[in-house]
Structure 1
Amino acid sequence: MSLPKTFPLRAVHGKTFQIPSVGYGTWASGETSWAKDATLTALKEGYRHLDCAWMYGVDEAVGQAIKESGIPREEIFVTSKFWCHFGHPDNVELCLDKILKNMGLDYIDLYLAHWPCVWKPASREALEKARAGPDTDDEAQGLIATADDKPVIDWEHTTSNLAKLKGHEGSFVPTWKAMQETVRKGKARSVGVSNFSITELEELLPHENDVPLSCNQIEVHPWLPQTELVDFGWKHDILITCYSPFAGQKEDGATLLKDAKVNELAKKNDMDVGQLLQSWAVQRGTVPLGKSATPARIKSNLNIRKLSDKDVKALDDLALPNEEGRTVDPSAEWDLPLYKH
């Protein structure tokens, strides 16, 4: 049985357009030489949804892959995100301009705030010269270096709940309004957020106006199903896209890809493990963003199929309590309990 190939995404002036239900993730730690060839392979295998971010440092490579693929631009859905030190309202569009220039594009389809926390940049000039990637330090990225290697937080523009936790007043609304303006200018077709909790989404919902809150990208997989946050998205027509759909490695060395139950279900359904996990995500009405540099896995991860209710429940039952399933630590650089309020 088939699963949906696309989901509707809210856009400006009450319109909707379609986003492919499986995306190809372009983040990876370490060097980035894999990016162009892997992205080109993904496009040739049928992916039409690329999930990117300025901080990944692969904009040029992904842009080259899009160009070399020969696929018309309008057939490829491109998502990108601004990193925290571009979060001041005056700098949101600057990051998008850098993304567009590096990728060789006139617009992107979805522009996201990477985190609900805003940092102070070294200067506007530093941001204009900033570059991303694993080989760049704080200075090259346009960040303020601190003695304890922590970013300097711009509390005024950080979400109100996070600012309040540290005794400050803040609001992400001015940044959100700057994001909306990129849609009105035609540089992005839609806007959304990433790593936002329900409380943080509620801060923005009264300020949708003509440009809605289209998406919240969060870590989701059977260890960490985020059911309450996913359900909140459904209630408010906020699409949930899922990074780390295969999870990562926990502190004890365990990985979801090697979980005995997951492998048993994959074998039962004649699927690769990644294919099974992507199918589970789409069947829940969410968009998985799996990443691989291996051609065979790139291909199989796209080949989603409907699972039985029993098998879906078996995967649901893998959920771990109290955030134990989280493999991406969202508070490591902030000392703030992101997601948990």
Structure 2
Amino acid sequence: MNVLTETYTLNNGVSIPKVGFGTWQIPAGKITYDSVTYALEMGYRHIDTAWAYHNEKSVGKAVRDFGIDRNEIFVTSKCPAEAKSYTDAKRCFEETMGNLDLDYMDLYLIHAPWPWSEMGTNYSEENLEVWRLMEEVYQSGKVKAIGISNFNVTDMKNIFDHCTVKPMVNQIRYFIGFTEPDITKYAKDNGLLVEAYSPLATGRIINNADLKKIAGKYSVSVAQLSIRYCLQKGVLPLPKAINPDHIRDNAAIDFTISEADIAYLDQLVTSR
């Protein structure tokens, strides 16, 4: 077993592979299809997409065409941030299921607690409406696990105080030097798995001199160091790549960062 086939267990007992393959900003069509296919060939068994990425159809086709049992591939998608009513959320869920063309989703997330054009705005009541839809699709069996994304402590507490089914995941922006400690701790304390999107800060930390120094000690790349760091912090990384060499290298993370080096990385402040 390598790290791609190791799993975390969500608070409802569902197993989720410890490393996901992210598809944010990968164009729909052949590029997404080929990237996901190559990731699956390299051993990834966890693919992350979203309605807002406009590539769900390509992801679903790659999963269907790969030729292994559906239950061996963990597929995540997200209800768009702009869908802030039960009706809109239900419509978007149905669109996602049609786009993926899979019998079920493994994980479905609310993409953000506010529309992207209104970041930071209070949508507490609306999020409870959307969460009602999330609980409904979970209870139906069409989704194996449900969760949230980009939710801060206040946003999480709002859901926790009113839900029947607690979220299983909070997917947040997380990388060395930007680890959202308050959000991460609150989520973990409440039984949520934290997922890290942009674990390489969309490439902005690749040339960081401090990270290069630590990576050199282990004869790995900064990307490999960054992904491994997430794992050792108990967080699930979602690296994205389209270059087959990068997809392969991002999976070569079966090494261990020392406790001293983890402590050093913890205190760094890198690109926001």
- Give the Å deviation of 1:30: 6.0
Deviations 1:7-66 (A, max 9, x none): 11123xxxx111111100011166754110010000010101111100101111111211
Aligned equivalent of 2:36: 39
Aligned equivalent of 1:61: 58
Deviations 1:113-165 (A, max 9, x none): 1110159xxxxxxxxxxxxxxxxxxxxxxxxxxxxxx67x9x8xx533xxxxx
Larger Rg: 1
Aligned equivalent of 1:278: 227
| Alignment partner of 2:153 out of 182, 188, 198 | 198
- Gap change, CA 1:30 and 1:76, over 3 Å in 2: closer
- Give the Å deviation of 1:319: 2.5
Cα contact 1:87–1:113 (8 A) shared by 2:
no
| Alignment partner of 1:185 out of 140, 153, 158 | 140
Deviations 1:97-119 (A, max 9, x none): 11111111011011111110159
Amino acid at match of 1:313: A
| Alignment partner of 2:208 out of 249, 259, 279 | 259
Which one is further off, 198-207 or 171-180? 171-180
Aligned equivalent of 1:333: none
2:21 matches 1:24 = yes
Cα contact 2:33–2:62 (8 A) shared by 1:
yes
How many residues align? The count is: 268
Aligned equivalent of 1:229: 183
Cα contact 2:84–2:129 (8 A) shared by 1:
no
2:71 matches 1:74 = yes
SS in structure 2 of the partner of residue 187 of structure 1: coil
Amino acid at match of 2:227: Q
Aligned equivalent of 1:126: none
State how far apart, in whole Å, the 2-side matches of 1:204 and 1:95 are: 20
Amino acid at match of 1:301: N
- Give the Å deviation of 1:281: 0.1
2:200 matches 1:246 = yes
5+ residue gaps, structure 1, are 120-149, 161-169, 250-254, 327-341
Amino acid at match of 1:278: I
- Give the Å deviation of 1:206: 2.2
- Normalised by the length of structure 1, the TM-score is 0.74
Cα contact 2:32–2:58 (8 A) shared by 1:
yes
5+ residue gaps, structure 2, are none
- Normalised by the length of structure 2, the TM-score is 0.91
Structure having the larger proportion of residues in helix: 2
Cα contact 1:191–1:215 (8 A) shared by 2:
yes
2:208 matches 1:207 = no
State how far apart, in whole Å, the 1-side matches of 2:87 and 2:126 are: 15
- Give the Å deviation of 1:257: 0.4
Deviations 1:150-195 (A, max 9, x none): 67x9x8xx533xxxxxxxxx45212211111011112211111111
Aligned equivalent of 1:314: 264
Amino acid at match of 1:214: M
Aligned equivalent of 1:86: 83
2:108 matches 1:159 = no
What RMSD over aligned residues (CA atoms) do the two structures have, in Å?
Answer: 2.1
Cα contact 2:97–2:104 (8 A) shared by 1:
yes
SS in structure 2 of the partner of residue 117 of structure 1: coil
| Alignment partner of 1:303 out of 231, 248, 252 | 252
